[in-house]
Amino acid sequence: MNKVDLLRAFNVNIDLAVEAHELLRGEAQAEIPGVSMEEEQLEHATVTTIKILNEQGVQEMGRPIGTYITIDVPEVHTNNYLIHREITKTLADKLTELMSLPEDASILLVGLGNWNATPDALGPQVIEKSLVTRHLFNYTPEELRGKLRRVSAIAPGVLGITGIETAEIIRGIVEHVKPDLVIAIDALAAGSLERIGTSIQISDTGIAPGGGVGNRRAAINQETLGCRVIAIGLPTVMNAAIIANNCLEALLNELKTSPSLYQLYKEFNPKAFEQILEKALYPYTNNLMVTPKEIDSLIETTARIIAGALGMSLHPGISAEEYQMYMQ
Amino acid sequence: MNKVDLLRAFNVNIDLAVEAHELLRGEAQAEIPGVSMEEEQLEHATVTTIKILNEQGVQEMGRPIGTYITIDVPEVHTNNYLIHREITKTLADKLTELMSLPEDASILLVGLGNWNATPDALGPQVIEKSLVTRHLFNYTPEELRGKLRRVSAIAPGVLGITGIETAEIIRGIVEHVKPDLVIAIDALAAGSLERIGTSIQISDTGIAPGGGVGNRRAAINQETLGCRVIAIGLPTVMNAAIIANNCLEALLNELKTSPSLYQLYKEFNPKAFEQILEKALYPYTNNLMVTPKEIDSLIETTARIIAGALGMSLHPGISAEEYQMYMQ
Amino acid sequence: MNKVDLLRAFNVNIDLAVEAHELLRGEAQAEIPGVSMEEEQLEHATVTTIKILNEQGVQEMGRPIGTYITIDVPEVHTNNYLIHREITKTLADKLTELMSLPEDASILLVGLGNWNATPDALGPQVIEKSLVTRHLFNYTPEELRGKLRRVSAIAPGVLGITGIETAEIIRGIVEHVKPDLVIAIDALAAGSLERIGTSIQISDTGIAPGGGVGNRRAAINQETLGCRVIAIGLPTVMNAAIIANNCLEALLNELKTSPSLYQLYKEFNPKAFEQILEKALYPYTNNLMVTPKEIDSLIETTARIIAGALGMSLHPGISAEEYQMYMQ
Amino acid sequence: MNKVDLLRAFNVNIDLAVEAHELLRGEAQAEIPGVSMEEEQLEHATVTTIKILNEQGVQEMGRPIGTYITIDVPEVHTNNYLIHREITKTLADKLTELMSLPEDASILLVGLGNWNATPDALGPQVIEKSLVTRHLFNYTPEELRGKLRRVSAIAPGVLGITGIETAEIIRGIVEHVKPDLVIAIDALAAGSLERIGTSIQISDTGIAPGGGVGNRRAAINQETLGCRVIAIGLPTVMNAAIIANNCLEALLNELKTSPSLYQLYKEFNPKAFEQILEKALYPYTNNLMVTPKEIDSLIETTARIIAGALGMSLHPGISAEEYQMYMQ
């Protein structure tokens, strides 16, 4: 079954706009109306900027008008500090651009996800490593006063922990804290294994219903919160249905190489295909995740990079090295 | 210096109404106008019910009109399961009485305090051990449906972690969740060492400004939240100034035993007294806490008792034994 | 590619003896020489006892002589307390039988695995929930004295955390603590999705080199430790290569249904098969895990069941209900 | 009662050699035979080096022959990154000097203490923030190979958690890992409040029986482990008996100011003094700790400084800034 059908049949989310775009374009690399794409090649990163420009783009992409920047950093796996520093810097630059914050802006960081399940703990770990400044000027590291923006932060937990929709909690807090900007950090589901841990997406559209890894139904965006929302996401898992589908696709492509087999391929019943998948995932359906064994260090490393980039872009008055010291 | 003066001079909170009442009554055991007190002796607990009846009582006691029940359970230290079960049962009964909840009430549990500092982690630990039911009827343990009230729960963290006043966070959430009742659980500061870990206070007045262990300034009560608030508190620390003061008091009482020394005592400059205390606590003032070495197991035990009692009183349809199994 | 070849090609472990046995028997359900198998059907569990009887069985099964009991408890997912209690009881009975401990035996519990990665945290969580008694008779809950065996417990971490082979740490400790029995608890990798969270294996052979989820190379058994070793394992993940393989197998079986396709099937190059798998798992090889989204609650539930069963079988003088209260 | 008597009567440990030395010298500042002392004044630190030179010194000081260096860094409380970096550097220099390690030495870090009780969690937190390298050269950050010593690390827990004497666990591990040097990090008890969080003691004598915060009875030193042991300690608490005693002392000193009162002072019964203390600490005796409210951030800050200094002195090939990035 082709991937788009699979995603629909198994109710699998593709969280990265860049992947949704690739899928839509297909092998033919068709232009998608209402959507623009630009690529920039940096030393340790490829930056892809997708803009959904109008209602037609919204229909095609199934997500709101806005800018979706993906920073691909395959070398995140190398465990090389100098490269991590470069990645952090690149992410900070892109964030700064996308946020275009006034100097006196106040910011609420929201770490989405479940701290009890490592693959879903990215958001809470970024929060833990972030410098919170809103409540103090007496407590602020003294040499930093005057260089910091006002930052508050919360990891609200997930529905299964609190019994409350995460969006409800955030809305309630935003109404009292009244930040100029909310930045929501979340673990995503990838559409391909290469992107796990290596594709950081930032967007100015918030988090839409249906996105995210599972149970976050209500939107977290300007419309629901009344202030701008930047979302930062990184895939940490992939739905197992995709791996199953990829195998079947590859096998069928293999069969296609001879004309008689191609005939066969065409006759092959797509419904059978779906049944094979269902059986392969049994007794699970769309709630089975693929994740690398080293998920704990992957989350640790990427949470550090994201928290570092947040610090650099939110508090430009302090150096990267200084910020490093204040991270927990 | 007498204890009341000390508390004022060093800005030390007495969180338990029963201790504030004792202090006011003094050695003469005077009646306090506008305040009633009753004592009940159970097998493993002494229950003291203090009611602040009118504005005069409010003035005297420095806290709002309402009922303050203290359950003294010295045997909490014995580590005996049968006794712990009795204590849990007694606390559940008193909570049920104080809450007088309609069957279909929805409840928000709020665990106040700092999960990173063991003596302040009681509230968050109770939340972790509590059964949350609001979000589900599909997820509820199937044999329990129909026996449960709707419970949601949050540990909002402290100002130093989030940069946000805890009361602001709670107010925001309450406006969206609209519970019928908020139950706030918090670690308190005792006025005497015997009460650490052994005096559980429940009250229907919420948590007033100035109460609590330190930085929780804004009130969490019916007036600010718009719904009833039950507070559950247990002292886990005592301000070190009290221990210092107790020593000095005892020494001076010793001196008083001879007439000539009594003369001396009267001449002794109260200002000097304060200076001695200041010096003894230097370089700290009112932020030095006394806590037993076994604070980790004390918190673990009492969090289990409180969470168990909450379960029994919120979900009377299930047995104590069953509830035990669902606690984490 | 057939499963046995796959496991070899991708270096995938099958940790459950019952699954290794099934694979060996194949569709023909052949008897395996040197291996016996018995099944027992209980209300909430199926118990399969496999015995490797002699050197021939060792060669066939690739694991040491001894008894491997698997308790299949599909209803662990139901979240029903009464069923969980039954499962706990059944596991306790089987453990008691397998251990056949003298009354005054001393036991060292070892929780293998990585507390930072939820799917690998089963062992450490069982340790956290277990009652440790060796160091005390002064600290023991007083009503329990005389009913308890001497139990010590450690979660030694993994190589990536300590820099030390886990087996080295355990050997060192055993030489000093000199327990009569070591019980090692570990998260396993399943060979089929149905077994994740539902098949508890206990064996009297310890943990052999190559078993376990990844990096635990040195054996933890009577030979290396000098005392008996019981292993308790539960699959929490499955290698993603198996899911990929299952899909391909299913598709080929489908093709086989017509004679002409069967011809095709026979011609299909097994090497191509392997390449498809490799590509489907790229850039990972054998370090990609499949795990359910609810892994956190699955680990929580099963750790509670295992810790409960350990308590009941190690301390038969106390009731299940009492033990429940002492668990953390 | 004078402090030396108090410590004896209440079985209170003074963990810092520099404090034991001060006490011995008394107000008269007497020289202690067999003990040398040197002071060095740095910009952000005072370094005091005490050497116990011979058996006479051992008798006087109640601790083994060796070097005890205390680095007093009151500005640790300032929360100023530049100062923290200087402190880290100073500690690294002193450690390097004291360790005088060959280039190819292998080191085992041991984090003593209880991770569940914040004031006792210093050791485990240093371990968590330390770079472990022994097990890898494949996993080592690639740009670091050749610049690193082989470091392994363990936080063995406390007796109440494992049921095993910590020294037993460490001895077992050392026999298998065979490090050239063990570095044990531990939270200490101070003799005065000013030293909480600000006096870092390093010594080459290991940890002697009776030292430490409570239950660590067996020695961790060259004699018991068969390899050199460096101990790093930092007071995080003070026994509450000392605060009580200090108040009484101060009051009596005040009384002494007039001749008639001095007479009184001399007549005052020292036994009464002890009774007052006992009553002031009731129902506790020597297990009541004083700790600042901000203990969580104090532990976080000092664990970071100690882990940073360990990294700099163990891996001199990498820069402080680089090391910072590898800390967790």
Six-digit token pair at C135?
Answer: 């160091």
Say yes or no to pLDDT of D136 above 80: no
Q: Is C324 helix (H, G, I), strand (E, B) or coil?
A: helix
Give B142-175 as a DSSP string: GGGTTS--EEEEE----HHHHSS-HHHHHHHHHH
Identify whether the C-beta of residue A203 lies closer than 8 Å to the C-beta of residue A68: yes
How far apart are the C-alpha atoms of C138 and B125, rounded to whole Å?
27
Identify whether the C-beta of residue C250 lies closer than 8 Å to the C-beta of residue A279: yes
With vertex at residue D196, the alpha carbon angle to CA D190 and CA D198, rounded to the nearest 5 degrees, is 120
Q: For A290, which residue in chain C has the nearest alpha carbon? A: C290
Question: What residues contact residue D211 under an 8 Å CB cut-off, 6+ apart?
Answer: D13, D15, D63
Measure CB to CB from residue D118 to each of B116, B194, B281 and give the nearest one.
B116
Residue B118 is classified by DSSP as G
Q: Note if the bond before B283 is cis, omega within 30 degrees.
A: yes
Say yes or no to pLDDT of B138 above 50: no
Please return the burial class of C59, using the count of CB atoms within 10 Å of its CB with bins 0-12, 13-18 and 19+: exposed
Task: Write down the pLDDT at residue D141.
Answer: 56
Question: What residues contact residue A284 under an 8 Å CB cut-off, 6+ apart?
Answer: A240, C193, C292
High-pLDDT (> 70) share of chain A, %: 86
Query: Partners of A232 in the beta sheet?
Result: A185, A202
pLDDT single digits (tens) D69-110: 999 999 988 777 788 889 999 999 999 999 999 988 999 999
Residue reference for tokens 């991937």 = A3
If phi > 0 it is left, if psi is from -120 to 50 it is alpha, else beta; for residue B206 that is left
Overall average pLDDT of the D36-46 stretch: 95
Is B169 within 8 Å of A160 when comparing Cβ atoms?
A: no
pLDDT single digits (tens) B167-196: 999 999 999 999 999 999 999 999 999 999
Is B325 within 8 Å of C81 when comparing Cβ atoms?
A: yes
- Residue A229 has a CB neighbour count (10 Å cut-off) of 27
Please return the burial class of A58, using the count of CB atoms within 10 Å of its CB with bins 0-12, 13-18 and 19+: middle
Task: Write down the pLDDT at residue C222.
Answer: 94
Which residues of D fall within a CB distance of 8 Å from B213? 293
Please return the burial class of C288, using the count of CB atoms within 10 Å of its CB with bins 0-12, 13-18 and 19+: buried
Task: Write down the pLDDT at residue A211.
Answer: 43
Measure CB to CB from residue B177 to each of A154, A156, A164 and give the nearest one.
A164
**Minimum mean pLDDT range among A147-151, A198-202, C62-66:** A147-151
Six-digit token pair at B137?
Answer: 């009827």
Question: What residues contact residue A259 under an 8 Å CB cut-off, 6+ apart?
Answer: none
Overall average pLDDT of the B304-313 stretch: 94
Question: What residues contact residue B222 under an 8 Å CB cut-off, 6+ apart?
Answer: B206, B228, B229
Please return the burial class of D241, using the count of CB atoms within 10 Å of its CB with bins 0-12, 13-18 and 19+: buried
How far apart are the C-alpha atoms of C14 and C33, rounded to whole Å?
20
pLDDT single digits (tens) A112-134: 999 999 999 999 999 999 988 87
Six-digit token pair at A64?
Answer: 């709101």
Strand duo B288-292 + B199-203: pairing = unpaired
Give A114-174 as a DSSP string: -TTSGGG-HHHHHHHTSPP-TT-SSSS-GGGTTS--EEEEE----HHHHSS-HHHHHHHHH
Most B CBs within 10 Å, among C75, C78, C79, to test the B interface? C79
Identify whether the C-beta of residue A277 lies closer than 8 Å to the C-beta of residue A10: yes
pLDDT single digits (tens) C238-279: 999 999 888 888 877 777 776 666 666 666 666 777 888 888
Strand duo D150-154 + D181-190: pairing = unpaired
Overall average pLDDT of the D265-279 stretch: 77
SS3 content of chain D, % helix, strand, coil (to 5): 45, 20, 35
Predicted confidence band at B140 (pLDDT cuts at 50, 70, 90)?
low
How far apart are the C-alpha atoms of D15 and D185, rounded to whole Å?
13
Q: Is B203 helix (H, G, I), strand (E, B) or coil?
A: strand
The number of residues making up chain C comes to 328
Is C154 within 8 Å of D134 when comparing Cβ atoms?
A: no
Is D163 within 8 Å of C139 when comparing Cβ atoms?
A: no
pLDDT single digits (tens) B240-285: 999 988 888 887 777 777 666 666 666 666 677 788 888 888 899 8
How far apart are the C-alpha atoms of D253 and C111, rounded to whole Å?
56
Say yes or no to pLDDT of C320 above 90: no
Q: How far is residue D279 from each of residues B192, B247, C42, measured CA to CA in Å?
A: 11, 8, 61
List of chains touching B (3+ CB pairs within 8 A):
A, C, D
Task: Report the mean per-residue pLDDT for chain C.
Answer: 87
How far apart are the C-alpha atoms of B12 and B32, rounded to whole Å?
22
Which residues of C fall within a CB distance of 8 Å from B139? 79
Predicted confidence band at B298 (pLDDT cuts at 50, 70, 90)?
very high
Identify whether the C-beta of residue A231 lies closer than 8 Å to the C-beta of residue A184: yes
Most B CBs within 10 Å, among D115, D247, D260, D276, to test the B interface? D247
**Minimum mean pLDDT range among C1-15, D196-210, D211-225:** D211-225
Is B175 within 8 Å of A175 when comparing Cβ atoms?
A: yes
pLDDT single digits (tens) C95-109: 999 999 998 899 999
Residue reference for tokens 């002699």 = C54
Q: How far is residue B286 from each of residues A234, A245, B269, measured CA to CA in Å?
A: 45, 64, 22
Give A51-112 as a DSSP string: EE-SHHHHHHHTS-SEEEEEEE-GGGGG--HHHHHHHHHHHHHHHHHHH---TT-EEEEEE-
**Minimum mean pLDDT range among C157-166, D210-219, D263-272:** D210-219
Query: Partners of D43 in the beta sheet?
Result: none
Q: Is D115 helix (H, G, I), strand (E, B) or coil?
A: coil
Which residues of D fall within a CB distance of 8 Å from C227? none
Predicted model pTM: 0.93
With vertex at residue D220, the alpha carbon angle to CA D216 and CA D225, rounded to the nearest 5 degrees, is 145
Identify whether the C-beta of residue A79 lies closer than 8 Å to the C-beta of residue A206: no
Say yes or no to pLDDT of A138 above 70: no
Task: Write down the pLDDT at residue C79.
Answer: 72
Question: What dihedral do alpha carbons C99, C105, C108, C111 form, nearest 10°?
Answer: 30
Overall average pLDDT of the A15-26 stretch: 93
How far apart are the C-alpha atoms of C255 and B86, rounded to whole Å?
67
High-pLDDT (> 70) share of chain C, %: 86
Say yes or no to pLDDT of A317 above 50: yes
Six-digit token pair at A307?
Answer: 């928290």
Say yes or no to pLDDT of B109 above 70: yes
Task: Write down the pLDDT at residue C136.
Answer: 57
Task: Write down the pLDDT at residue D145.
Answer: 57
Overall average pLDDT of the A190-205 stretch: 96
Going by C-alpha positions, the residue among C246, A231, A133 that lies closest to residue B162 is: A133
Å between D122 CA and nearest CA of chain B: 12
Q: How far apart are the first and last CA of chain B?
A: 46
How far apart are the C-alpha atoms of B232 and A133, rounded to whole Å?
30
Say yes or no to pLDDT of A212 above 60: no
Å between C168 CA and nearest CA of chain D: 6
Six-digit token pair at C117?
Answer: 């990665």
pLDDT single digits (tens) A46-83: 999 999 999 999 999 999 999 999 999 999 887 777 88
Going by C-alpha positions, the residue among D123, D140, D113 that lies closest to residue D214 is: D113
Task: Write down the pLDDT at residue B192.
Answer: 93
Overall average pLDDT of the C278-303 stretch: 91
Buried b (16+ CB within 10 A) or exposed e, C177-209: bebbbbbbbbbbbbbbbbbbbbbbbbbbbbbbe
How far apart are the C-alpha atoms of A71 and A52, rounded to whole Å?
17
Say yes or no to pLDDT of C215 above 50: no
Is B164 within 8 Å of A139 when comparing Cβ atoms?
A: no
Task: Write down the pLDDT at residue D280.
Answer: 87
Amino acid letter, residue A269: N
User: Which domains can be identified in chain D, with CATH numbers?
Assistant: 104-243+283-327 (3.40.50.1450)
The number of residues making up chain B comes to 328
Strand duo C46-52 + D66-72: pairing = unpaired
Find the helix or strand (DSSP H, E) in which A301 lies.
helix A295-314
Measure CB to CB from residue C280 to each of A243, A252, A295 and give the nearest one.
A243
User: Comparing A206 with B3, which gets the higher pLDDT?
Assistant: A206
Query: Partners of A237 in the beta sheet?
Result: A189
Find the helix or strand (DSSP H, E) in which D128 lies.
helix D122-128
How far apart are the C-alpha atoms of B129 and B304, rounded to whole Å?
7
Q: For D255, which residue in chain B has the nearest alpha carbon? A: B268
Going by C-alpha positions, the residue among A283, D253, A55, C296 that lies closest to residue B251 is: D253
Identify whether the C-beta of residue D70 lies closer than 8 Å to the C-beta of residue D201: yes
Strand duo D181-190 + D228-239: pairing = parallel
Amino acid letter, residue B81: Y
Q: Note if the bond before A179 is cis, omega within 30 degrees.
A: no
Is D295 within 8 Å of B194 when comparing Cβ atoms?
A: no
**Torsions phi, psi of D285, nearest 5?**
-125, -90
Is B79 within 8 Å of C141 when comparing Cβ atoms?
A: yes
Buried b (16+ CB within 10 A) or exposed e, A136-145: eeeebbeebe
